[in-house]
Each structure stands twice: as structure tokens, then as C-alpha cells.
Amino acid sequence: MALSIYNTLTKQKAPLKPLEGNHIRMYVCGMTVYDFCHIGHARVMVAFDVIARWLRHSGYELTYIRNVTDIDDKIIKRAQENGETFQVLTERMIAAMHEDERKLAVLPPDQEPRASEHVEGMHRMIQTLIDKGYAYAPGNGDVYYRVGKFEGYGKLSRKKIEDLRIGARIEVDESKEDPLDFVLWKGVKPGEPSWASPWGDGRPGWHIECSVMSTCCLGDTFDIHGGGPDLVFPHHENEIAQSEAATGKPYAAAWMHAGAVRVDGEKMSKSLGNFFTIRDVLEKYHPEVVRYLLVASHYRSSINYSEDNLREAKSALERFYNGLKGLPVVPANGGEEFSARFATAMDDDFNTPEACAVLFDMVREVNRLRESDLNAAAALAARLRELAEVLGILQLEADAFLQAGSEVDAEQIEALIAARKQARADKDWAESDRIRDELQAMGVVLEDKQGVTTWRLG
């Protein structure tokens, strides 16, 4: 089965056909780094991390670019509130973002361009748009894009220009020809960072940043452009308009968008008091529990973030790790049917819920094999871990996950288990039972199989 993906532009699934040989070029809109990343950011990070992992697992040569927006209105406002430069703020937030990603097992992109490093490229694209009549400088330091001149405007979001004009307004200090025109370059304002430009000192508009960074890193036309659900309009729509007008070529062959995160059924919002940073969540839950919650749903679907769903994710991982616990380390072997089913699921627009279902079937078979053939169980468990790595889960030692957050003394437990083993060898059943009772009082559940004793917290 060929790998198929859902294209937001065409609103249908189609086989992925690289534009150039076996090489996939993918650009994903990254974070605006004025604050700590929230759980919605984690959704996008993890979704495209899984997509990148599967593309590489499938044998594609992948170039994965995810930008950083390190200059915009929110960043300037926050830096002024903090009494610091925008560079100091963004460096701190980028470092925090990378720390959050590492905890969630998100692999870094191949390149992470920053908007502030591509200002000259933005000048060149803006000048090209002016020369072609798609942009204009009214003389107040700003430069605007003529939305009405681009015939394909609205093709991604399915919005019509005439509908958008209803209710559109022009701010008092703007000099737009049309209310729908958007800013490419903003003239300098007092107290704000600025760069010299042919139109006067100022700074870039948000939309031009990604058009320039993506084409600089990947060329005028590339395979996949991705991002969060809130970016389809206007950000991605404006990117298409800018880029295709400037280059005269199609921009991205396919568009992919992750689903939204809802909190207890409601949209996440600071005003509703249901806004959670990644750091907030990781104070209460193991990072792999959070990642599993995110990969257990299809990347295009909405995720309901709730305490109940996090507890279910934790329980699911405990089932996996209890199945993996105590097995000898052997090379992966067997499980071809499971591997084929897993690949079929992932090739169907990265269907991670179905892929997780395959992993559950595998751990059930591992548990069945334990009773008769420990080596066969271990070989299948190794295969399970290989597949799970594509989802970024089940790569820890089982005990490390199962005992995470516990205040019990693992060394003490192991010593008691060893003492119980010796008591059983000495046929001192009373002492053996006493130790088992002591461990049970500590919340430790023992499992004796084929002469091997493993434990977990009950």
C-alpha cells in the first residue's frame, strides 16, 4: 500500500509522490516564542514528529524545516513588559521550548530558521511583489499585499473574497487600498526594534516570514507544508498568495494540519482558565503519558485534554510496560503480520489510533507467549518496541516507567525479593510469606513466572 496523506488544499487523500526522486521536503510553521509552549503546541510538535519519523522509517529522504517566529507584536509587547530586549526574551523561550521537546521525545527538525535571520530575504520578496504589482508602499513606511489581484486567493480555506470583505475594516493609521490587503512590512514605531529597508526602518509582517524561510530552505515549490489548525486562514492562505505571486510557481504540493486541543470539551483559552503549558502538565504527568495521549488520536482529529483521558493514557502505557517487563534482551524476531498491519495503518494518512491497536494486539501475544516460550515473547517484544519507536513511545526500561513518581525504595524492594527467593530455596515458607506480606503493605505486587519474579506498584 502506497503512503497516502490528506491534503487540506484538495480536501482529499492521495498517494504521496515526491516532487524530486525519493526526497520529501517538509516545512512546518513553528512557535512564536514569547511565552512557554502550551499543550496545543505540543499537539503540533508531536504530530509532525510522528509524520517525520514514519517518512524516514518508510525509506524517504526527508528534509524537515520548522521555523521559529522570534519577532512579532506579542514578542515586542512581552519584552517591553519584562523590561528586556526581544533577543533576551526569545533566547530564553527557545531554550525552554527545546527542553519541553526533549521531554516529549520530539526529535529536532533538520533546520530551525529564525525570522530575524531572514530579513534581507523578506526585502527581496517584497520588492519582487511590488515590481509585479502585487504589493504597494503607500508612503507611510508600510508595504501591503493586494489580495484582490491574486486570482487564487481563498483556495486553501475555501473562503470567498466577497464574503471576507463584509465587515472588514481599516484601522485609522492604515493606508490600505482594500480592507483585505495585509501588511508585508511595518513602518517603525517608537520603542520597537527595527531594521533598515528600502521603504524606511521597520520590521516584517508575520505572513512574509514563512514564505521567505520556507522557499529559502526548500526551494520555490516543496512537498508538504504543515501547521496548527488555526493557521489555515489567514496565515497559510496569505503565504500561498505571497509565494506564488512572487515565484510564479505552485507553493506547496500538499498541506497538512493537526487537529485542535480542547480542554474538557471546551476550546483552550486563558480567559476560560483552562490554559495549560507543557510545563504545567509535566509537573503532574510523566512525559510519555502526555505523548501517548497525543499519538493515540489521529493527527487531524481534535483531542480532548482531560484528567480522565490522561489517566487512561497512563493505564494504557502501564499495560504495555507490564507486558515488556522482565523479559530477556534478544534481537527482534517474528511479528511480520503485526508489522504489516502497523504499516498499513501508518500508510493511511498516519493512522496512529489503528497503529496503537496493533501494538495492543502485540502485547497480548507477548503475554500469551510468556507462559510457554520466554525467548519468543522477548523477540516479539523487541519487535513491538521497534514499531513503537515510530510513535516515540515504549523506549524506556519498563521499571523506569512503572516506578516513575514513586517514593518507594527500589533497592529495598529488590533486596526483599532476593531474601524471599532465598527463603523459598530454603523451604522457609513462613519467612517467604512474611516478606510477600511486607511488600504488599508497601503497595508492591509480585509476579512469579518461570522462576523469575518481577514486581510493580499496585
Note whether 225 and 231 are within 8 A (CB).
Answer: no
Counting beta carbons within 10 angstroms of the beta carbon of residue 305, is it exposed (0 to 12), middle (13 to 18) or buried (19 or more)? buried
Question: Is the model's pLDDT at 246 over the cut of 90?
Answer: yes
The DSSP bridge partners found for residue 145 are 135, 182
HEC assignment per residue over 129-168: HHHCCCEECCCCCCEEECHHHCCCCCCCCCCCHHHHHCCC
The per-residue pLDDT for range 361-388, each reduced to its tens digit, is 999 999 999 989 999 999 999 999 999 9
Q: Can you tell me whether residue 298 is helix, strand or coil?
A: coil
Query: What contacts 24+ positions apart, CB below 8 Å, involve 87-94?
Result: 89/33, 89/34, 90/33, 90/34, 93/33, 93/34, 93/35, 93/36, 94/33, 94/68, 94/70
Pairing of β 12-15 and β 444-449: unpaired
Q: Domains in the chain, please, with CATH?
A: 19-258 (3.40.50.620), 262-402 (1.20.120.640), 410-457 (no CATH)
Q: CA dist 16 to 220, 244, 352, Å?
A: 19, 22, 18
What's the pLDDT score for residue 418?
A: 84
Residue 113 has pLDDT above 70, yes or no: yes
Closest CA to 454 of 405, 409, 408, 398: 398
Q: Give the residue numbers of the binding site.
A: 29, 210, 235, 239, 270
| DSSP code, position 270 | G
Residues comprising the binding site for ATP?
270
Res 9 pLDDT > 90? yes
pLDDT, tens digit, for every residue of 213-235?
A: 999 999 999 999 999 999 999 99
Predicted confidence (pLDDT) per residue in 161-215, tens digit: 988 888 777 675 678 999 999 999 999 999 999 999 999 999 999 999 999 999 9
Residue type, 6: Y
At residue 450, the pLDDT reads 61
Cα separation of 369 and 455, whole Å? Answer: 19
* The three three-digit cell numbers of residue 326, written as one number: 522482565
Q: Return the pLDDT at 266.
A: 85
Q: Which residues are annotated as a binding site for Zn(2+)?
A: 29, 210, 235, 239
Q: Which residue has the cell 526569545?
A: 90
In DSSP terms, 144 is beta-bridged to: 136, 183
Q: In the prediction, which pLDDT does 404 show?
A: 80
pLDDT in tens, 114-153: 999 999 999 999 999 999 999 999 999 999 999 999 999 9
* 142 close to 175: Cβ distance less than 8 angstroms: yes
**Which neighbouring-strand residues pair with 27?**
65, 225
What percent of the chain shows pLDDT beyond 90? 80
pLDDT on residue 171: 72
CA 309 to chain centre: 18
Q: 396 or 266, which is more confident? A: 396
CA distance 180 to 398: 56
Give me the residue label for grid cell 480542554: 263
Q: Return the pLDDT at 54.
A: 98
What is the CB neighbour count within 10 angstroms for residue 354? Answer: 15
| pLDDT range class, residue 265, cuts 50, 70, 90 | confident
Rg from Cα positions in the chain: 27
Average predicted confidence (pLDDT) for the chain? 93
Q: What CA–CA distance (Å, rounded) separates 282 from 374?
A: 35
What pLDDT was estimated at residue 1? 65
Predicted TM-score of the model (pTM): 0.89
Question: Which three cell numbers mark 89?
Answer: 526574551
CA 277 to chain CA mean position, Å: 14
Report pLDDT for 457.
Answer: 65
Cis peptide bond N-terminal to 234, omega within 30 = yes
Q: What is the tens place of the pLDDT at every residue in 64-110?
A: 999 999 999 999 999 999 999 999 999 999 999 999 999 999 999 99
Predicted confidence at residue 172, as pLDDT, reads 56
Secondary structure class of 277 (helix, strand, coil): strand
Report pLDDT digits (tens) over 273-310.
Answer: 788 999 999 999 999 999 999 999 999 999 999 999 99
Confidence of residue 429 (pLDDT cuts 50, 70, 90): confident
